[in-house]
Structure 1
Amino acid sequence: MRARTVFTVALLASTAAVPAYAGDDAAAKSDQGGEAQAPAPAPAAKTFTTGVAKGRDLLDSAISASVLDDEDLAQLSVSSIAGIMQNIPGVRSETSDIDGFSAITIRGLPLAAEGSKFLQLQEDGLPVLEFGDIQFAGIDQFLRADLTLSQVQAIRGGSASTFASNSPGGLINFISRTGETEGGMMQVSTGVGFDLKRIDFAYGSPLGDGWRFHVGGFYRTGEGPRDIGYNGFKGGQIKANITKEFEGGYIRFYGKYLDDQQPNYGNQPITVSGTNANPEFGFLPGYDIREQGYASPLTSSYAEVDRNNNRTVLDTRDGLAAQVKSIGLEAQFDVAGWTVTNRFRFSDISGAYNDNTPFLTAPAPFFSAFGGPGARLSYAAGPLNGQAITDARLLALSARIYADLESLDNVTNDLRASRVWDVGEGKLTTTAGVYNSRQDVRMFWNFTSTLQDLAGGGRNAPVNITTATGVPVTDSGTLAYGFAVGLPFGIYHNRYDVDYDILAPYGSVNYQIGKLAIGASIRWDRGNVNGQVFSANFGDGRVGTVPFDVNGDGQVSVAESRVAVLPLTRPAPVDYDYDYLSYSAGLNYRFADSLSAFARYSRGGRASAENAIGTETLNPLTGMPRDPGVTVSIVKQAEVGVKFRKDGLSAFLTGFWASTDERNFQITANASGQAFVAPVNRTYSAKGVEFEGEWRKGPFAIVVGATYTDASIDKDAIDPAFDGLTPRHIPDFAFFARPEVALDKVTVGAVINGTTESFAQDVNQLVQPGYVLVSPFVQYRPTDGLTVALNAFNVFDELAFVAIQAPAIPASGITNAQVMNGRTVTASLRYAF
């Protein structure tokens, strides 16, 4: 629930960074010196504008949609983009509350890999990236939530597929504030018991003569809630816009500068016993992965070769790094009865992806086998540098993944015109538009195998192997400049230099007569893909691995005898086209002011990004994918819903069915728990029910949401044994609740998120436990404009699994898992003026 003034909207702490939101209306009340007020007597009629031709009250729209406004956002106990989306019905968002390395899907559509393949994320009505599943470049890595955020609008299915490209499952739009009322805020926050400090600011105001502006941003620094031994969080952003209103329209200029880095809370080792149906999970000695990071200053730097086969030193302390410089224009005006809207943005986007994940965890003697009989193990850095390892302590062979995101620049323009006509006794709304975009994908992947211990506490150290005769097998812990075991040595050592040009005309009609509204829309997407890919896997075998003095010491060691390099003079060309048709039709009937019902059927397409031109899929002679079916996935959806809103109660209930084909690659594990990459060629379907409700009475309020999903792998073209099984990580039931009591000086409440169990992998053996996270908060307002807040995320320290790697309990009793943070307390102080 939402209190109707900024005084009740204090910062609610996140597990990794402190979110900060408040609206222009709330700021205006604080300017007037108003006291904190109880919630309004009824849920507001929230106008919805994303993925539709014209903004309407949700009860008048034949779509299933949700709106989180600034006051709703202030209650959430997370700050990451994926964390916010966990509070939208129908959305499955896997995250450790960092922006990046998230897997996001909707309505039971498959989670084959990281990213958001079927769900597009927008900022102010335009996509952040054209494709949601670019490997090592998730959309949320380049998007941040702070005081400049006014609303999050989400549309599930419906017309999302026809009012945006590559969004057949739905759209989530992060909308900025634009300074309609004068007011600002300054906020400082800090972790309690962990090092993370953050400052946020925002200010907006009318300037007179139709002009107004808004500016805001944040900066943060600190180690974060998990022990990694260095500042994992460092950076921030600033956003600004200025608007000129005139009769019949407006024009707005805006810009954003983001330079931020975060640690990658990926997979870490954990123990598992019991049975697949009822597993018991535990921690390695002294290694609680809710509080530990796998990173360490002692393992952060390592030698490698770059995109041009030159020596380089990589620093994993850059983590998930994002740099975005964007400028945009939005304009709306009336011409001869038509309302014309144009949105344009250019974004200069770059960054880096760094991951250090255990590939194989075992007692130390196991790894001496890499050096032969009599081989010795010793520390390669840190306070124990040179000390021999003679016991059976656990060590981990790690896959070090580095991606240089040189350019993910994109330029997009969306032009549309709408007009309302009097036709008979009703109103006919027609819309025609054209969308054009260009997306760069210029990046380089590098994989390295290193050996380290599991000391924890930000002290993990590299380990060397030496033969019985004293010959080094490793270089400062590096066992192989590529994959040491399990996968082809030079696989995924790739460089992409590709451009995607997209043109999409679209249109819609909607006829409303009395209580009935009937509408339909259509879109035709055409894409042209050109460029080149460098990979030894495309070549003739002459270049792939070579002896190379990587560390520059003048000698070629055992580890340097095989180094993955690129055939720079023989790139594989990329040159192909694709197209797909999307359409949607629905009707809405408003029985009364408080009640409506709708039904809709939609078909939408989703083009593949670099997955279609990888070493397993691209024909290096023709420049086209070997299988044309990999270029586009089609999603079909049907939905029917009821919406009710009266007095202090609102309730939206939607039944849905969705299906798609999916050709992709996903990281899984074999029976021993060792990771490998498996091809996917399947059709999936899901059916279920979404519910979202809100009740408010006096100072009491609660918002709830729930989703029931019955998902299935309908047909697997590669392995029919998967037919009829349940896709991994899709629980039957997920829910959230936000109860609150708002008094004059104090607001007390909680954010509750939960999910039932699911399967760790598609084989449907090992069960991934569900969880319930309770995050209470208290806000105290000692005087006008000042708010002190305290929040405890996951107050009961629940072990909440995001993902488990093993398909079944391995004989070793050790697997990798990604989990939510444990109990994390944050305090904040906000002043509104």
Structure 2
Amino acid sequence: MKAFHLLLTIAPIALATPAWADTAAETAEQSASAQEAPASAQPQREVFSTGVAKGRDILDSAISTSSIRESQVQKLGARSLFEIFHNIAGVRSELSNGEVNNNVTVRGLPMASTGAKFLQVQEDGLPVVEFGDMLTGGADMFIRADLNLAAIEAIRGGSASTFASNSPAGIINLMSKTGDVEGGSLMLSSGIDYEEYRADFDYGAKISDTLRFHVGGYYRQGEGPRKVGYDAVKGGQFKFNITKEFTGGHIRLYGKFLDDSTPVYLPAPMSLTGTNDSPKYAALPGFDNNHDTLLSRYHTSNLTLDGGNNVVTNDLREGAHSKVKSVGVEAQFDIAGWTVTDRFRYSQISGRYSGVYPAISGSLATVAATFGGPGATLRYASGPSKGQLVPANANGNGLVAALMTSDITLNSFDNITNDFRASKVWNLGGGELTTTAGFYKSRQSVDNFSTANSKLSDIVGGGNAALVDITTATGVPLSENGYYTYDGTFFGVYQRRALNVDYDTNAAFGSLNFKTGPLAIGGSLRYDFGGANGYVQSYKLSNNPGSFTKDMNGNGVISAPERKVGFLELGNPSPVDYTYNYLSYSVGVNYRVAEPFAVFARYSRGARVNSDRLLFSSAINANSGSLANREALIDYVKQAEAGFKYRTANFSLNGTAFLANTLEHNSYFGPTIDRKYKAYGLELESSFRAGIFSLTAGATYTKAEITNDKLDPTVIGNKPVGSPSLFGYVTPEISTDLFSIGANFYGISSRYASDSNLLKMPGYVLVNPFVQVRPVKDLTVSLNVNNLFDAKGITTVSTATIPANGIGTGTVINGRTVSASVRFDF
């Protein structure tokens, strides 16, 4: 950890957005086209447009912001969107499931569930989905970063509470190129030590003086960063937009088609020994969950029931399969001194989400006795050794896992959104008064079906894990083809579930900002109201046993696992029918002390409406669908922040002190949460450039605790699960016309594996070096290494203490991967 503390010592002398770079934003209402800009003797004005009423220089705004340009993204070597987010100060992103459906939060706000509960991820100024923590439907499932990306803008806290719904922690906005910079690129990429082949392209141009377009996308295929034995990465994206400019504004039509599959790396077995305070995490013989997964070429299908209780065989190789078809319109025009902007988008979203999760990992003898009694035997049910006894020292570890196969169909996550706003600047008392008013409306569908099967598998890497059958000492088979039951027996509380609910979100908002000389004072309000309507299905809601006997394989014989088949009560749905409303506000003051220096302060109250996480909990009346516990629906976040911003031509330093109080209600497969949190800390970001050398960095210190818990008072005063004291990044770089060479370092300090604060997850540093060579004009050859030193970065552990058998289950960041690319610009 000495290296990590050194990293954070360096961090205050660098910044996420270099002061010499062009801003990504054209205006508050226009999407941006980020581009390289030369260094100059004077600092450039940086206009920021995300989560504010009107774009203005960040030194005149009482907000904490960061931006990342597309050219920077290409150097980071990130394998997922949330790895890019590592390079935004104050943003903590946690890779827990592979490339998608990961976790992100801001500063010290809790990460009590998966996804982005308090943060909104946007694409071109509108949310990708209304709720960023929908189960298996997080925002990163339905968005990809490619050559279409111009820049990423992020606002933390501040006016995010009032200029977007369900986003009290902040907004991260991915902004597309719009053709204002003519030309394009073709980039071919390949993994060097792993199989993934990818082609990216983009092109933008002017059709006339007032008409321009941009198109781009990618296609990829391969096994992915871990060995699974088949092509787990497959698919691509295509985006386009066309913009017509006219006096006082523009109108833009855009669309996206995404059809992409990526593997789901759910928690997997690992060696976990030592003590709770000083644990030792290591690879198992034959299985290293830095590089391996229990996904396998010998376990590619799943026999189950669909949402109509019909027998189906699903392809587990789909992993996280995302399908998005979207079309949108953005219009801006001036009327009588008012700047009017409207953004509209309709997205048709569907897909699948499947993976395997070990409930128990133990020795052959232990697992056989647990599920089959004394003298039970295990035989391979798939793979090259099918039918043979599993040897006691199988794979060098002699271990078997009781797996849950999670298989979820995303029928519809369709989203329709419109954001209308109008702004005008008035000359008043020698200053400028900016007024903004608007209305936001969205309709979010959540229609999915969740099923789970229980199977047995050996534990081995390389995509070679095989299913296992168990037989009693007297020869009675208790499983068939690896299936122990056709439901979630190994996890007990996991039920087959279906839901079909539409969420209606409406918000009226407005703001006033008065600027006179160096002083700017502003405030904003947002009134959200809406509701949910639909139904849910689960045997738990009607106290039905939840399983029945069914001949799943159609052979006319009922086997042991076919006596326990999970099903849905199709004729007995439980309604969902409720409404809500709440008020958010934000006030701030900014003082430009001098041309390069400003100070600011802000206080905000925002909120997040809980969605599908509460549907099967006691918060909703199962008979009427109304709210049985109205307090559980809306989680408020109150934040105070104060800071400074300093910017010259070659150096920038921003600092923000923050305090946040957060309510949290959550429920799905795990225990229900009803608690309060408090967090305070300091966030720093900075940049420095001297000749061919540059350095960017950010660091965040957080002190967080659980201040109240209505269900488990023993955790009051503890740190929230996974909450670090320190995290941050540093990126030094040397760049000339011929080459660029550097490395991106990301570090995080130790955290607790549970709210009980017993078992620790060690901190780690992720080192990602990069080299770009430009031998001739418009040609760039790149080499990127992700996790150079093969750090075992533990992100979750499925136990609160050291397990007695020394076998733990958890998620680990990917091990070292090396990729190369060649890019042609034209």
| Structure 2 counterpart SS, 1:795 | coil
Counterpart Cα distance in 2 of 1:818 and 1:117: 20
The Cα of 1:23 is off from its aligned counterpart by 6.3
Whether contact under 8 Å (2:351, 2:410) holds in the other structure is: yes
Aligned to 1:613: 615
Instruction: Give the secondary-structure state (helix, strand or coil) at the position aligned to 1:82.
Output: helix
Matched residue SS, 1:198: strand
Change (3 A) 1:777 1:23: farther
CA distance in 1, matches of 2:267, 2:228: 14
Distance 1:390 1:459, change over 3 A: closer
Match of 2:723 in 1: 730
Q: TM-score, with normalisation over the residues of structure 1?
A: 0.93
Kept after mapping to 2: 8 A contact 1:686/1:711: yes
Superposition deviation, residue 374 in structure 1:
3.2
Measured in 2, the distance between the counterparts of 1:24 and 1:358 equals 45
Equivalent in the alignment of 1:683: 676
Aligned residue number for residue 566 of structure 1: 568
Choose 583-592 or 625-634, whichever is displaced more: 625-634
How many angstroms apart in 2 are the aligned matches of 1:722 and 1:496? Answer: 32
Secondary structure of 1:590's counterpart equals strand
Which amino acid is the alignment partner of residue 492 of structure 1?
Answer: Q
Aligned residue number for residue 527 of structure 2:
524
Task: For residue 773 of structure 1, report the CA deviation from its aligned partner.
Answer: 1.4
Q: 1:432 to 1:236 in 2, by over 3 A?
A: same
Q: Which whole-Å CA distance do the structure 2 matches of 1:555 and 1:42 have between them?
A: 81
What is the CA–CA distance in structure 2 between the aligned matches of 1:3 and 1:124, rounded to whole Å?
22
Q: Equivalents in 1 of 2:95, 2:345: separation in Å?
A: 28
Residue type at the aligned position of 2:601: A
SS in 2 for 1:678: coil
For residues 80 and 311 of structure 2, what CA distance do their matches in structure 1 show? 35
The answer for the alignment partner of 1:592 in structure 2 is 594
Equivalent position of 2:3 in the other structure: none
1:704/1:2 CA distance change after superposition, 3 Å: closer
The 5-angstrom pairing of residues 617-656 of structure 1 reads 617-656=619-658
1:59 partner letter? L
SS state at 2:588 partner: strand
**Distance in 2 between residues matched to 1:97 and 1:743, nearest whole Å:** 38
How many Å apart are 1:665 and its aligned residue? 3.1
Is the Cα–Cα contact under 8 Å of residues 785 and 832 in structure 1 kept in the other structure? Answer: yes
User: Could you tell me which residue of structure 1 aligns to residue 796 of structure 2?
Assistant: 803
Paired with 2:197 and 2:490, the residues of 1 have a C-alpha distance of: 41
Q: 2:824 aligns with which of 825, 828, 831?
A: 831
Aligned pairs for 1:248-647 (under 5 A) are: 248-369=248-369, 370-391=371-392, 393-488=398-493, 491-541=494-544, 544-647=546-649
What is the distance in 1 between the residues matched to 2:803 and 2:438? 54
- In the TM superposition, residue 588 of structure 1 has moved relative to its aligned partner by 0.4
Using the alignment, how far apart are the partners of 2:575 and 2:809 within structure 1?
A: 37
Secondary structure class of the residue paired with 1:314: strand
In 1, are the aligned partners of 2:20 and 2:650 still within 8 Å (CA)?
A: no
- Whole-Å Cα distance in 2 between the matches of residues 688 and 663 of structure 1? 24
Deviation at 1:467, TM superposition (A): 2.5
Which residue in the other structure is 2:12 paired with? none
Q: Distance in 2 between matches of 1:379 and 1:806?
A: 29
% same residue: 46
- What does 1:167-206 align with in structure 2 at a 5 Å threshold? 167-206=167-206
State the alpha-carbon separation in 2 of the partners of residues 323 and 704 from structure 1.
35
Mapped partners of 2:232, 2:489: distance in 1 = 28
Q: Which residue of 1 aligns with 2:123?
A: 123
- Give the whole-Å Cα distance in 2 for the aligned partners of 1:204 and 1:784: 19
TM superposition shift of 1:679: 1.7
Question: Which residue identity lines up with residue 449 of structure 1 in the other structure?
Answer: S
Aligned partner of 1:32 in structure 2 is: none
Contact in 2 for aligned 1:339/1:418 (Cα 8 Å): yes
Q: 1:432: Cα distance to partner?
A: 0.5
Q: Which moved more, 1:273-282 or 1:408-417?
A: 273-282
Deviation at 1:619, TM superposition (A): 1.5
Q: Give the match's secondary structure for 2:76.
A: coil
- The whole-number CA distance in structure 1 between the counterparts of 2:159 and 2:663 is 20
Query: Separation in 2 of the partners of 1:704 and 1:730?
Result: 21
Residues 698 and 730 of structure 2 are in contact (CA less than 8 Å); yes or no, is this contact kept in structure 1? Answer: yes
Task: Give the Cα–Cα distance (whole angstroms) in 1 for the partners of residues 551 and 109 of structure 2.
Answer: 46
CA shift digits 1:469-491 (9 cap, x unpaired): 43321121111222224524xx4
Change (3 A) 1:108 1:356: same
- Shift in Å at residue 818 of structure 1? 1.0
* Equivalent-residue separation in structure 1 for 2:96 and 2:184 (angstroms): 31
Superposed CA deviations along residues 303-329 of structure 1, whole A, max 9, x for unmatched, are 111111010112211001100000000
Tell me whether 1:720 sits opposite 2:713 in the alignment. yes
The separation in 1 between residues aligned to 2:257 and 2:390, in whole angstroms, is: 48
Report matched runs for 1:154-165 at 5 Å: 154-165=154-165
- Residue pair 1:97, 1:820 contacting (<8 A) in 2 also: no
- Shifted more, 345-354 versus 469-478: the winner is 469-478
| AA at the equivalent of 1:517 | A
Q: Do structure 1's residue 817 and structure 2's residue 810 form an aligned pair?
A: yes
How far, CA to CA, are the matches of 1:625 and 1:815 in structure 2? 39
- Provide, for residues 367-388 of structure 1, a one-character-per-residue CA deviation record: whole Å limited to 9, x for no partner: 2232234322100011000001
Distance 1:778 1:364, change over 3 A: same
* Displacement of 1:46: 2.5
Q: How far apart in 2 are the matches of 1:364 and 1:545? A: 28
Q: Does 2:765 match 1:763?
A: no
C-alpha distance in structure 2 between counterparts of 1:792 and 1:43, whole Å: 33
Deviation at 1:247, TM superposition (A): 0.2
Whether the 8 Å contact between 1:4 and 1:38 is mirrored in structure 2 is no
SS of residue matched to 2:129 = coil
**Residues 33-44 of structure 1 aligned to structure 2 (within 5 Å):** 44=44
| Shift of residue 3, structure 1, vs aligned partner | 10
- Look up the equivalent residue of 1:555 and give its one-letter code: V
Distance 1:97 1:391 in 2: 31
Partner of 1:158, secondary structure, is coil
- Number of the residue aligned with 1:33: none
Distance of 1:88 and 1:583 partners within structure 2: 25
Q: TM-score, normalised by structure 2?
A: 0.94
Measure the CA separation in 2 of the matches of 1:576 and 1:559: 40
Distance in structure 1 (CA, Å) of the matches to 2:511 and 2:706: 33
**Most deviating of 547-556 and 105-114:** 547-556
Structure 1, unpaired ranges of 5+ = 7-21, 27-36, 668-676
Alignment deviations for residues 416-449 of structure 1 (CA, whole Å, 9 cap, x no partner): 0111111111110100100011010100111111
Deviation digits for residues 176-225 of structure 1 (CA, Å, limit 9, x no counterpart): 00000211000001111211111000000111140000000111100012
1:120–1:698 distance in 2 versus 1, CA, 3 Å: same
The equivalent of 2:664 in structure 1 is 662
**TM-aligned CA distance change 1:75 to 1:96, over 3 Å:** farther
What is the one-letter code of the residue matched to 2:557? Q
> Residue deviations 1:595-631, cap 9 Å, x none?
0010000000110111222154431111123211111
Kept in 1: contact 2:788–2:817 (CA 8 A): yes
Q: Does 1:709 align with 2:702?
A: yes
Preserved contact between residue 24 and residue 180 of structure 1 (Cα < 8 Å): no
1:266 Cα deviation (Å)? 2.0
1:639 shift after superposition: 0.2
Does residue 785 of structure 1 match 2:778? yes
Q: Structure 1 residues 409 and 82, CA, compared in 2 at 3 Å: closer, same or farther? A: same
Pair 23,412 (structure 1): closer, same or farther in 2 beyond 3 Å: closer
Cα distance between partner residues in 1 of 2:429 and 2:367: 81
Counterparts of 1:235 and 1:2 in 2: how far apart (Å)? 32
